[in-house]
Amino acid sequence: MLEAYRQHVEERAAEGVPPKPLNAEQVAALVELLKNPPAGEEEFVLDLLTNRVPPGVDEAAYVKAGFLTAIAKGEASSPLIDKVHAVKLLGTMQGGYNIVSLVELLDDPELAKETGEQLKHTLLMFDAFHDVEERAKAGNAVAKDVMQSWADAEWFLSKPAPAEKITLTVFKVPGETNTDDSPLPRTPGRAPTFRCMPTPCSRTSAKASYRKCPAPPAR
């Protein structure tokens, strides 16, 4: 699996595009490697789990969240990830398959504090918000702390302050801006062959301004 992914990275680099994130099948194979890491590959396999699995509700995220939850609950183990580290990694997944696990771990005396810190900066809670609220009303001190943190917007106020001055270039494109202004044809995820497609952005009224600034990165 590692050899195949390295080859994939090289092929994508040759085309000038970033590698694709891991899919569910690759993450499942990675989980087995994390349980018994090959000598010399410890840093690489941990980095793959940390940074190369899409967050949210992707199928690969489901596998990742399940493995990290199993570690946090003592149902699985890895020499590279202890329980606290597993909670921290769950906290980086933004929302989706990590939420139920983080809420449940508020009831774990050993991990509740770290779980609370992760939930303070997790916004995509949806109905799970009420599960945290119920725990707070039932006397769970960490859940109360999380609720207060959300109320105080700590997730926002803890961010670095924006620069006092930001220099930007603004240009106006006549027409239907949701397509005419789109950076999609220039996304780095496309092969170079398909990043030269003509678009209405080439109109004379926008040419000069557009050439001064690169297309925004794809999200």
* pLDDT tens digits, one per residue of 152-182: 999 999 999 999 999 998 877 676 666 555 6
Per the CB < 8 A criterion, the answer to whether 7 and 38 are in contact is no
Tell me the pLDDT tens digit for each residue of 47-96. 999 999 999 899 999 999 999 999 999 999 999 999 999 999 999 999 99
Answer for the pair 62, 69: CB distance below 8 angstroms, yes or no: no
Q: Which domains does the chain have, with CATH numbers?
A: 2-157 (1.25.40.310), 163-219 (no CATH)
Q: Which residue has the higher pLDDT, 184 or 119?
A: 119
Amino acid identity for residue 101 in this structure: S
Nearest C-alpha neighbor of 67 from the set 97, 92, 37: 97
Percent of the chain residues topping a pLDDT of 90:
75
- How confident is the prediction for the chain on average, in pLDDT? 87
Q: What angle do CA 55, 3, 70 make, to 5 degrees?
A: 40
Residue/partner pairs of 140-143 with CB below 8 Å, 24 or more apart: 140/106, 140/107, 140/112, 142/106, 142/112, 142/113, 142/115, 142/116, 143/106, 143/116
pTM: 0.77
